[in-house]
Amino acid sequence: MASSPPQYMYDVFLSFRGKDTRNNFTSHLYSNLAQRGIDVYMDDRELERGKTIEPALWKAIEESTFSVIIFSRHYASSPWCLDELVKIVQCMKEMGHTVLPVFYDVDPSETYEKAFVDHEQNFKENLAKVRNWKDCLFTVASLSGWDLRNRNESESIKIIVEYIFYKLSVTLPTISKKLVGIDSRLEVLNGGYISEEGGKAIFIGICGMGGIGKTTVARVVYDRIRWQFEGSCFLANVREVFSEKDGPRRLQEQLLSKILMERGSVWDSYRGIEMIKRRLRLKKILLILDDVDDK
């Protein structure tokens, strides 16, 4: 039986070295992508020494249409970044994942020689892992991307964002054409619910057994109508994330970040509720909660 196509929760996954670009290029790229209505996964946490990449991060890579890898001076000195890179290359080869390299402050031919000398010392018992890192680095560095040396940063970001936006607009019709009856359902939503005036909160549920394509339908609806709103957010895997420790707070933080297009912190879920009430109460927003239960 043929395998089903991947379910994309994000448009873009950003792979970057935090200490190099988190507070400058990467945050600016994130904001510009979000302003164009592009769903971006940007991990905010620094990995503790010795900690392995989290399953949730692996899943985010698998569920993204594109990965943008921002190569910077210290990118290859991070085992975490290199593990991300290996996963991204795996998805590129096995799932048709699109990979876009950005060379920020480094030459595309950079080999990160010193970083790999250190890795060979630190991973003497697993040199195959280091060789795999090198191979994946070479694979991605050979792809078509953007060399930002001696280029205006804001102009470069605009070019990257418009390229991704165009590519996404080309691929969306291909997905929605396979969904029989989707256009008539969108007309019902637009005519009977979304176009209504009065500032009312409208709740619409997509129900059914697991595996029948509810997430796919919700995603297409989201991509088709989100431009009609002041802000939009697609929260994926809500049931799973909510059940995790600190899950509700992280969902609130993600919601506020996506809608307001700014990075901020929610200290606890109680304060998160108050922040959402205060900052979103006058906005017309589209919020999709994917995979919820009746609890």
CB half-sphere exposure, 225, CA atoms < 13 A: 24
4 conformational bin, left if phi > 0, alpha if psi -120 to 50, beta if neither: beta
Q: Which of 62, 63, 84, 253 is catalytic?
A: 84
- Strand locations in the chain (E): 10-15, 40-41, 64-71, 98-103, 146-147, 231-235, 285-289
CA distance 30 to 97: 19
- The DSSP call for residue 192 is I
CA distance 10 to 6: 11
Q: Whose CA is closest to 26, among 41, 40, 14?
A: 14
Contact criterion met (CB below 8 Å) for 249 and 266: yes
CA distance 30 to 14: 8
CA distance 31 to 47: 23
Three-state secondary-structure class, residue 245: coil
Residues 46-77: b if buried by 16+ CB within 10 A, e if exposed: ebeeeeebeeebebbbbbbbbbbbbbbbbbbb
CA distance 181 to 162: 30
Q: How many helices (H) and strands (E) does the chain have?
A: 12, 7
Query: Is residue 84 flagged as an active site residue?
Result: yes
Q: Which residues are catalytic?
A: 84
